[in-house]
Each structure stands twice: as C-alpha cells, then as structure tokens.
Amino acid sequence: MRIGSIFLVIVVLSSSGIGQTAKSTGKNVSIPVVLPSEATVDSFMQQTFGYEPQVSWKITSIKPAPVPGLAQVDVVLASPQGQQMSRFYVTADGEHAVIGEIIPFGAKPFEAARKILDKGITGPARGPKDSPVTIVEFGDLQCPACKAAQPAIEALVASEPNARFVFQNFPLEMHNWAAKGAAYADCVGKASNDAFWKFISKTYENQAEITAENVDEKLTAIADVSGVRGVDIAACATTPAARADVDVSLALGKQVNVTGTPTLFINGRSIGNVGTVPAESLKGLVDFAAKEGK
C-alpha cells in the first residue's frame, strides 16, 4: 500500500491561520483562503499517522492553492518503504481537507498548460520542432519510479518518431543527490544532445550504486562513457549557471503543477504514474493529440 493511501477523501481538519484573499481567474469574485498553521498541520499528521511509529513526515509548503478558496499543503512522508510526496487541500471554512488531484476543466482543458510549456521548455529535445505533438517529461535521476518508467517512455518515443520529446529536470527535495544529478545532466545536454540521452539512461542503470558521497565520481564516469569529457562536466555542474538552469526547470514544473516524478505532458495533458499506464494507452494519447493538434 502506498504511503498516504489511508487518507480519507474528505477528512475533518480543524485549523487556524491567517486569512488571505484569492481571486478566481477571469472573474470578479474573491474567496477567502485559510492557511492552516504549521502546528495545526503537524497535529493533523500526528492524529492521522501517529499509530504507525515507522512513518514520519516533513511539511514542505503551506500556501494558497491554484484554485480559489483552497489552501494547498505539501508534505513528504517517509517509511521503511521509501519517501513520497503527498498533497492535500484545506477548504475555506478551515474544517475539511480534500485528498486528490485538481485537474483543469473546460472546452480545452489542457491548453493553458500547453502554452506555458511551449513557451518555457528549455531541456534537451528529440524529434521535429514543428511536430503537432510535444511530449515533456519532468524527471529526477534519483527517483526509482523514473527509472522504472524509463523503458515505457523510451518505447513511446521510439513508436512516435514524428513527436517532439523534451526532458526537463525536476529534482525532488527528498532526494539527496538529485539536484547535483540535474546539474550534471544540464551540463551534458549543453555539451552534446546525443550524449545527454545516453547519460540519462546510464545514470538510471547505475542509480542504486550512486550515493551522496560518491555522486561526483559516478556521474563524472558516466559522462565520460556517454561521449563527453567528464571532468569538464563536473566543473560545469558546480557553476551558478547550471544551478540556475535547474531552478528554471523546477519553476516551470511547479507552474504546471508537477508534484512528483516522472510526470509526462502530452500537448499539455498531464500523465502521472507513467509506468503503470498501458503502452497502447500512451500511444493512443499521442495519436489523439496529433490529430487534435493539426
């Protein structure tokens, strides 16, 4: 069972906080947003998970949600099985929380995210620039789920040569060498687009052997066998420019509501849990997007 799956869809949450105001997009309606205090969230987590001493948590964010009237709470849950990002929303009355994904709605529900990504993507790319379909992956080189999903993503890209595929770094805070891995990947991508894809693949292959203590040694060696000078990449990865590039990619992901990795976007449509989606379904989504994009 995944950590956090025992959350109820709607749970009572008594909260106190500072009242803020959020305006709904395109409407002259303002809805008060109640931000629960960190102490209240911590108490809620204790009441929810206190029976399980092996589960711990870290509150990473309490802020207004993209949807008017809701507060967004992000926490990292940890257990012997691993770590997981969890998100819930607190209602305006401050007495309920809603667990689940907020998805866009409307005649063209994915258009807003598509426009943001079309304008903001900066990562290495494969496929024709004028393709009617752009697939964007937000990935974390230390993420086991990203490694597990990679064969499915590679198979999808291979089956859709006329689609454009872009990789965006999204290192999660819970991973202790992911940010450095993202900086290395950014530098490899600048040096050679072909080497970048080899670097990503080989890093996933060696993921279990990489630690915070040996990450520089391991990634330098992987860069070498990927076709670029490892020492040059290692030097580049320490520069403010590399860190800034990673920060820009992170900001882009947050702008389109990426909460975990890997997350795919197919012409703005978000696809999470990629490794569990059947190959025919992924291909069907791309083919549909191609027809809609023409």
**Residue 89, beta-bridge partner list:** 72, 98
Residue 3 lies in a domain: no
Task: Give the angle 128-243-125 at the CA atoms, nearest 5°.
Answer: 10
The burial class, CB within 10 Å (0-12 / 13-18 / 19+), for 233 is buried
Average confidence score pLDDT of the chain? 87
Same domain, 25 and 127: no
pLDDT at 186 (0 to 100): 98
Q: Are residues 117 and 179 in the same domain?
A: yes
- Co-location of 183 and 272 in the same domain: yes
Shared-domain flag, residues 138 and 270: yes
Q: What is the pLDDT of residues 41-85, one digit of tens each?
A: 999 999 988 888 888 999 988 999 888 889 999 898 888 877 787
Same domain, 119 and 93: no
The answer to the question of residue 237 being in a domain is yes
Tell me if 5 is assigned to some domain: no
15 pLDDT tier (thresholds 50, 70, 90): very low
- Statement: residue 267 has pLDDT above 70: yes
pLDDT band at 260 (very low <50, low <70, confident <90, very high): confident
Domain boundary among 57, 74, 99: 99
Q: pLDDT at residue 224 above 50?
A: yes
Spatial distance between the Cα atoms of 86 and 259, rounded to a whole number of angstroms: 8
CATH number of the domain residue 276 falls in? 3.40.30.10
* Residues listed for the chain: 294
Structure token pair of residue 80: 């012997």
Do 161 and 84 belong to one domain?
no
- For the chain, the domain total comes to 2
pLDDT at 50: 85
Q: Is residue 229 part of a domain?
A: yes
119 & 69 share domain: no
Residue 1 is predicted with a pLDDT of: 37
The answer on 178 and 41 residing in a single domain is no
Asked if omega into 262 is within 30° of 0 (cis), the reply is yes
**C-alpha to C-alpha distances, 14 to 35, 44, 205, nearest whole angstrom:** 11, 8, 46
- Residue 175 shares a structural domain with residue 249: yes
Please give the pLDDT value at position 131: 95
Q: Is the pLDDT of residue 10 over 80?
A: no
At 30 the pLDDT is 65
142 found inside a domain: yes
> Which of 99, 123, 141 marks a domain boundary?
99
In angstroms, the CA 274 to CA 106 distance is 24
The per-residue pLDDT for range 140-187, each reduced to its tens digit, is 999 999 999 999 999 999 999 999 999 999 999 889 999 999 999 999
Assigned domain for 104 exists: no
Span 18-41, pLDDT tens digits: 333 334 444 445 677 879 999 999
The percentage of the chain sitting over the pLDDT mark of 90, rounded to a whole number, equals 67
Do residues 94 and 147 share a domain? Answer: no
Q: Which domain holds residue 26?
A: 10-99
- For the residues 254-268, what does the mean pLDDT come to? 93
User: Are residues 149 and 238 both part of a single domain?
Assistant: yes
Same domain, 68 and 176: no
Cβ within 8 Å of residue 225, ≥6 positions away: 198, 202
Is residue 4, in this structure, part of any structural domain at all?
A: no
Give the domain-ending residue among 76, 99, 122. 99
User: Is 184 inside any structural domain?
Assistant: yes
Q: For residue 235, what are its two tokens?
A: 């030097």
Rounded CA-CA distance 263/56 in Å is 25
Distance, in Å, from the CA atom of 219 to the CA atom of 188, rounded to the nearest integer, reads: 10
Structure tokens given for 143: 């993420």
Answer yes or no: is pLDDT of 230 > 90.
yes
